[in-house]
Amino acid sequence: MVEDQNFLKVKKVLFLILLFFFFNSKSFSQNYNFQKLVKLDGPWGSSFLNDNELIVSEKSGKIKIVNIKNNKVSEVEHNLDFLDYGQGGLLDILFKDKFVYISYSENRGNWKSSTSIAKAKFDKIKLDFKNIFQAEPPIDSGYHFGSRIVIKDNYLFASAGERGQGMIAQDPTNHPGSIIRIHLDGSIPIDNPKFKGNSNWLPEIYQIGVRNPQGLSLSPFDGKIYMSNHGAKGGDWFGEVKKGENYGWKILGWGGKNYTGTKIGPKWKPGFTKAIQYWVPSIATSAITIYKGEEFSEWNGHALITSLKDKSLRKLIFDDKSDVKEEIIFKDKIGRIRDIQVHPSNGKIFFLAGNNLWVMEKD
C-alpha cells in the first residue's frame, strides 16, 4: 500500500513537471493566428506600397497589387522580357520612393538568361521597366538565380546566384555567385572593391563566393545587410554582407555535400567570410528579415528566417555571434515560405507561401 502511494506521488510530481515545461516552453509560449488573404499563382516577391497595399511578383510573369483590407487583386502590365525556365522568372520586387525595382531571369536569347534588375516609375496600370543591371555572362541554366534586392541610402544591393556553375562564384570577372552594389540609377559606386585594391573584379561586385542567396535584409538597428544562402545537400547559412570578402563557394561546402554524396570542402577555413548560423541538413533557406514592429515587439532586432523545405519560420538572436540562439516559431502550417514582409505600421507579418498571401498575428 505504501509503495502504491509513493508511486502515485511520483507520477503526480512527474505530471506537474511536464505541465510546467509544456506551458513555459518557448515553443508554446505564444499562440499565433494565421489568415489566408488571397490566392496567387506562384508568388515570389512582395513589397508594401502603403499600409493597405502590397505589390507582388509571380514567378510565371505577372505583377499584381493586393489590397489587404478588402482582399482585392489587380494586375499591372509590364514590358519585361523574362524567361520562365526552371527556377527563373520574375523574382524579387521592391517599391521605394515612387519607383519599383525588380530582379528577374532576363531572356538573353537561345535559352540563355541572366539575373537582371530593372527599374520603373510606379504606375498601377503599366510599369515601363528599364534595366539597370545585367549579370554577365548570360548562361543556359535554369538553376540558382538568387535573388533579392535591398536599398540602403542611394545604394541598391542584390544577390546573384551562381547558376549551378560552382566555381564561377570564385571568379570576380563574372557576376554569377556574387553580391552586387550599384547606385539606384545603375551607375557604379566609386568605393566598390574594384576601385579599392581588387582591380580584377567587375565594378558592380561587392562580395563573392555565394551559391543561391534568396534572402537579403537591411537591419533597421545596426544598418548592416544580412543574407541567407542555400547550400547543396546541407550547408545553408545566414550571414552578413561584407565588402570585398568571399564566402568561399565552391571551395567551401559549409557542412554540405554534393547531391551525389561526395564531399565539397570544409565548412569554413581562415581567409573566407564565416557565416553566423549554419543548417546541416538543409532547411532550404528563403527570404529573411530583421524584425522591427509592434505586434511582436519582443522580437525586435532578431532575424526571421523562412524555409522552403521544412516550411518553417525560425528566429535567431544573434547579437552574440559566439552564442546564437535559434527558435522554431512554427513549422508546416502554411506551406513552403517564399517571402516575408513586416507591416510598416502594425508589425504584423505577411508571407508568400504556396500559392497564397498569409498574415500572422498574435491570438
- Mean of the pLDDT values across residues 333-346? 97
pTM, full prediction: 0.91
Q: What is the pLDDT of residue 301?
A: 98
- Mean of the pLDDT values across residues 38-61? 98
Q: Is the pLDDT of residue 292 over 60?
A: yes
Q: Is the pLDDT of residue 3 over 70?
A: no
Task: Tell me: do 75 and 11 sit in the same domain.
Answer: no
Task: Tell me: do 10 and 55 sit in the same domain.
Answer: no
Lowest-confidence range among 168-177, 255-264, 296-305? 255-264
Q: Is the pLDDT of residue 10 over 80?
A: no
Contacts of 172 (CB under 8 A, 6+ apart): 178, 193, 198, 200, 201, 202, 205, 208
- What are the phi and psi torsion angles at 3 (to 5°)? -65, -40
Q: Is the pLDDT of residue 362 over 70?
A: yes
Task: Tell me: do 10 and 158 sit in the same domain.
Answer: no
- Mean of the pLDDT values across residues 284-313? 97
Q: How far is CA 28 from CA 25, 56, 319, 328, in A?
A: 5, 32, 24, 10
Lowest-confidence range among 8-12, 67-71, 167-171, 354-358? 8-12
Our count of domains for the chain comes to 2
Helix, strand, or coil (residue 267): coil
* pLDDT tens, position by position, 205-218: 999 999 999 999 99
**Per-position DSSP letters for 80-126, written without gaps between them:** --B---TT-SEEEEEEETTEEEEEEEEE-STT-EEEEEEEEE--SSE
**Distance in angstroms (rounded) separating the CA atoms of residues 79 and 100:** 13
Answer yes or no: are the C-beta atoms of 125 and 100 closer than 8 Å: no
* pLDDT tens, position by position, 133-180: 999 999 999 999 999 999 999 999 999 999 999 999 999 999 999 999
Answer yes or no: are the C-beta atoms of 23 and 31 closer than 8 Å: no
Share of the chain above pLDDT 90, in %: 91
Vertex 138: Cα angle to 246 and 267 (nearest 5) = 25
Task: Tell me: do 251 and 328 sit in the same domain.
Answer: yes
Partners of residue 57 on adjacent β-strands: 45, 63
Task: Tell me: do 214 and 279 sit in the same domain.
Answer: yes
Torsion of CA 101, 84, 174, 164, to 10 degrees: 130
Name the nearest CA neighbour of 301 among 318, 321, 326. Answer: 318
- 11 falls in which pLDDT band (50, 70, 90)? low
Task: Tell me: do 113 and 227 sit in the same domain.
Answer: yes
- 51 falls in which pLDDT band (50, 70, 90)? very high
- 72 falls in which pLDDT band (50, 70, 90)? very high
Task: Tell me: do 85 and 17 sit in the same domain.
Answer: no
- 30 falls in which pLDDT band (50, 70, 90)? low
Mean of pLDDT over the chain = 93
**Distance in angstroms (rounded) separating the CA atoms of residues 297 and 30:** 13
Q: Is the pLDDT of residue 276 over 90?
A: yes
Task: Tell me: do 3 and 111 sit in the same domain.
Answer: no
Q: Is the pLDDT of residue 32 over 90?
A: yes
Task: Tell me: do 71 and 136 sit in the same domain.
Answer: yes
- Mean of the pLDDT values across residues 99-103? 98
Task: Tell me: do 2 and 36 sit in the same domain.
Answer: no
- 27 falls in which pLDDT band (50, 70, 90)? very low
Task: Tell me: do 15 and 40 sit in the same domain.
Answer: no
Contacts of 262 (CB under 8 A, 6+ apart): none
Lowest-confidence range among 9-13, 126-130, 253-257? 9-13
Q: Is the pLDDT of residue 242 over 80?
A: yes
Name the nearest CA neighbour of 88 among 107, 62, 64. Answer: 107
For 356, what's the count of Cα atoms within 13 Å in the CB-facing half-sphere?
13
Q: What is the pLDDT of residue 352?
A: 98
Task: Tell me: do 15 and 130 sit in the same domain.
Answer: no
- 221 falls in which pLDDT band (50, 70, 90)? very high
Helix, strand, or coil (residue 3): helix
Per residue, the 3-state secondary structure of 314-340, as one string, reads EEEECCCCCCCEEEEEEECCCCCEEEE
Which residue range(s) make up the domain with 17? Answer: 1-27
- CATH number of residue 242's parent domain: 2.120.10.30
**Distance in angstroms (rounded) separating the CA atoms of residues 282 and 303:** 18
Q: Is the pLDDT of residue 40 over 90?
A: yes
Q: What is the pLDDT of residue 31?
A: 86
The pairing of strands 73-78 and 126-127 is parallel
